Chains A and B, each alone.
Chain A
Amino acid sequence: MKVTLKVWRQKDQKAPGGFQIYQSPELNPNMSFLEMLDVVNEDLAGRGEDPIAFDHDCREGICGTCSLVIDGKPHGPHQGVATCQTYMRSFRNGVEIVIEPFRARPFPIIKDLVCDRKSFDRIQQAGGFISVRTGSTPDANSILIPKENSDLAMDAAQCIGCGACVAACKNASAMLFVSAKVSHFGLLPQGQPERHRRVTAMVQQMDEEGFGACTVTGSCEAVCPKSISLDFIARMNRDFAVALLKGGPKKPSSGGAG
């Protein structure tokens, strides 16, 4: 099979970008989408042209590095899989495929199809953790957790931090990502002491990064490669409201000897 690619090319963050059209060499329908790009890039290099820059690493749908908006949909045509797990058999012979980077202000473009998603790390640094020092822990089985809660926490924890939810959202909202992190910890007994402080800090950082507001259209859930549920956004909103009502933590008193 062969396809025509309409690809976004952009030299760097500041340069203006635009679409370029490429004809693929002969392809095998069992190739993954990224292997197709490898083949196209080898072909471009053979002609001395700059290869198309795209992000990828594990190529088994777990590291969250690959991105791409394929024919208008982040991670391509299938539900519940990442770009790297999309295969050429999903496309008809001879079609034109439009490939763009994830587009959102908090994800500036580095080159061509590669964008910078460090804003996600900064949100996580704001509170996406349980404060536990190495070594200061009880025996693992001394913390009993009902299987239902543990399974639900695991559903949230599956998020691979790829940012497709942001790319799909008309407002570039990061609510699905943040709510998955907040819910993972909030559903577990270990996450309770910092539950309200965590949600407040992470939401605040999300806003500072310039992600937009959520209007619950569900486009994020539809493109999520791990099928993270929209329910987690409701869960986070509830936690956030409770945290607001409770107010910030009381300042520690400076009294006392010692």
Chain B
Amino acid sequence: MATLNSNIPAGPLSSKWEKHKFTSKLINPANKRKYKIIVVGAGLAGSSASATLAELGYEVHNFVFHDSPRRAHSVAAQGGINAAKNYQNDGDSVHRLFYDTIKGGDFRSRESNVHRLAEVSVNIIDQCTAQGVPFAREYGGLLDNRSFGGAQVSRTFYARGQTGQQLLLGAYSALCRNIANGGVKSYTHAEMLDLVVVDGHARGIIVRNLQTGEITRHNADAVVLATGGYGNVFNLSTYARGSNTTAIWRAYRRGACLANPCYTQIHPTCIPVSGDYQSKLTLMSESLRNDGRVWVPKRKEDCKKDPREIAEGDRDYYLERMYSAFGNLAPRDIASRAAKTVCDEGRGIGLTGLGVYLDFSDAIRRLSEDRVRERYGNLFAMYQEITDEDAYKTPMRIYPAVHYTMGGLWVDYNLMSNISGLFVLGEANFSDHGANRLGASALMQGLADGYFVLPSTIATYLSTVKPRSRAGTDHAAFREAEENVRMLTKKLLSCNGKRTPASFHKELGKIMWDYCGMARNKKGLEKALQLLPALREEYWKNVQVLGEPNGWNQSLESAGRVADFIELGDLMCRDALEREESCGGHFREEYQYTPADPETQQGLVNPGDVKRRDDAFAHVAAWEYAGAGRAPVLNKEPLVYEEVKMSTRSYK
């Protein structure tokens, strides 16, 4: 069994971080340059951490599989980033952002981490603005805000519909500055394929150069993974095609615990699937729900009609009806499940019946088409490009799609995993979003971890490591890890099967979506746990990987990633099966509110809402690898709330 010590500092919640920073060890400037840190990933968390660690004086080596750090998938975030600035004077505060996030996560995140996130959120906006991130402004020159789901204040900062790109360009520019001055050595087209652990400490990685196929060893005093989420296990998602689980999965196989893998975010507003050739689902930003109203026809027979011909009285604005206090800005898990419910009732729209309307006609009447265009023009243009429909004239058709994974490698308060010296940031870790992430909080967490948390907490670990004592790359552990990577490559190339990795990926995605998607039950998960090992077995017998180990080989790259996804899928289903409760994005059909429950009768929840079981499941499920062919070991970290009371999550 792994030892999980969360290392939460003692003392009142609101002063833990300040106190922790003061009591943590420091490293003197002359010694910092003697420590070498590997950072894998160059999205918001990886770039900001690399730049900041280099500014502090550490020797930083950054690895990314893209051709440029600027292309990491943080770039695609549209809507915005939350911060408790209270610039709108609408009652926001650090405590409110903290509470909204804890409640948004359905009381399944770690209290102390979330409070720290809310505290440093204000520094992020200052930092990004100083870097030249062109956030939206008002005519007086001040920063503008808008609202996002799960909040009743306007605390979201944004840069048109491309906040992610602008924040990433800010972090990338900081990275560039540090590459130029020698603080960071940047490796691009460099994919991490194994973690090297020496005497229980993470001491390096094995990397494949995607251009040349060359496999190299890299050593360090600490390894930081900022490699993003694993939603592509579903094949169809809003993730970039290249996003994968390989870095964290291989770390898991080296002993790092993977926490709450079944917590997946299904985003309510994406363009519906149109055919089986589809490679990607496109998100329509949550910000659209500031002005768009979600509805379906009240009667099944109206579903195929032109929406403009359905009278107002025949429409069911179901979010406004079911969650009157938050209405169309209900959190993502709730909005997605409500869409599924009305579609399951046969009231879904579009050719497949898996769709609902997002209607702007009221907003256009209220504000004018020009104002709506100013706010969301690029999103409407993107929608038209993909669907060939004009959303100014007819409502958008949307449906939920996989968007984010709240689960990830287990970390303590210092963001260190259960392997000493292995740190995990951003979407790759598990700690801040519980069972559901609120909109505009992923950007906040990535940058909080990279700019402000890790650069402070990593010193605590490094102060225990003697400077320049790190193992050389000729150490046996490096040899063994490299051999492991070479064997795997050889095995994939020598299968000579009949099916491409892409066809396996599609099959895996369908299993995961059907049995471990928006609604899960015991029977379905048990079925998936029979299908997945069979799929895995077929994979290693029948996968077809063309080309050679050397040089550019996209077939080989994807073959390794899909193999890891299949194993991860199995673990996700185990986790979902084990967690016999519903919470946030994890909806087990067996556990939902019924009309007879007191909470329903008091009007706190609707029948069918998720029902937690705090008595048995107020814990983090951290899974530990036990070797090939063995069932993984479940470790539990109890969630101890010192200030917040775990209560019924109500948005009514």
Contact = CB atoms under 8 A, between A and B. Distances in A.
A249 B385 CA distance: 48
Given A89-B388, A134-B52, A140-B126, A62 B131 contact: no
Contact of B67 (A12, A49, A116): A116
B616 interface: no
Contacts of A50: 546-547
A30 B278 CA distance: 9
Most central of B134, B142, B173, B275 by chain A CB within 10 Å = B134
B455 interface: yes
Contacts of B71: 57-58, 63-65, 161
Given A128-B176, A144-B141, A145-B137, A81 B159 contact: no
Contacts of B388: 87, 89
Contact of B130 (A38, A110, A114, A130): A130
Interface in B175-227: 176-177, 179-180, 186, 188, 211
A25 to B, nearest CB: 10
B551 A111 contact: yes
B143 A45 contact: no
A64 B241 contact: no
B176 A141 contact: no
Contacts of B188: 118, 121
B22 to A, nearest CB: 16
A55 B139 CA distance: 41
Nearest to A39: B277
B140 interface: yes
Interface string A110-128: 1100101110110011101
B130 to A, nearest CB: 4
A144 B135 CA distance: 12
B129 A34 contact: no
Contact of A31 (B70, B166, B174, B275): B275
Contacts of A32: 279-280, 386
Contact of A190 (B73, B132, B451): B132
Contact of B68 (A78, A114, A120, A137): A120
B73 A57 contact: yes
A157 B166 contact: yes
B165 A160 contact: yes
Interface stretch (A1-9, A92-100, A147-155, A206-214): A147-155
Contacts of B563: none
Interface in A153-202: 153-154, 157-158, 160-161, 184-185, 188, 190-191
Given A28-B277, A191-B132, A55 B127 contact: no
Contact of A140 (B129, B177, B274, B386): B129
B555 interface: yes
Contacts of A30: 274-275
B554 A51 contact: yes
B232 to A, nearest CB: 12
B141 A45 contact: no
Interface string B66-81: 1111110101100000
Interface string B52-87: 100100000000001111110101100000000101
A154 B160 contact: yes
Contact of B131 (A61, A124, A132, A139): A132
Contacts of B85: 140-141
A110 B212 CA distance: 9
B594 interface: no
Contact of A143 (B69, B129, B164, B173): B129
Interface string B38-58: 000000000010011001000
A52 B54 CA distance: 39
Nearest to A84: B280
B364 interface: no
B130 A190 contact: yes
Contacts of B164: 62
Given A31-B275, A81-B385, A145-B137, A139 B176 contact: no
A135 interface: yes
Interface in B83-138: 85, 87, 123, 125-132, 134-138
B176 A57 contact: no
A125 B76 contact: no
Given A38-B279, A185-B132, A188-B132, A129 B127 contact: no
7 contacts: A32-B279, A38-B279, A46-B500, A57-B66, A121-B70, A134-B452, A158-B160
Interface of B: 48, 51-52, 55, 66-71, 73, 75-76, 85, 87, 123, 125-132, 134-143, 159-160, 162, 164-166, 169, 172-174, 176-177, 179-180, 186, 188, 211, 238, 240-242, 274-275, 277-280, 282-283, 381-382, 385-386, 388, 451-452, 455, 500, 502-503, 544, 546-547, 551-552, 554-555
Pairs A-B, 9 closest by C-beta atoms: A144-B141, A129-B173, A137-B130, A140-B129, A154-B134, A111-B552, A59-B280, A134-B52, A57-B240
Given A125-B177, A139-B126, 4 more contacts: A38-B502, A62-B76, A140-B143, A150-B135
Interface of A: 11-12, 27-28, 30-32, 34-35, 38-39, 42, 45-46, 48-51, 53, 55-65, 78, 80-81, 85, 87, 89, 110-111, 114, 116-118, 120-121, 124-126, 128-141, 143-147, 150-151, 153-154, 157-158, 160-161, 184-185, 188, 190-191
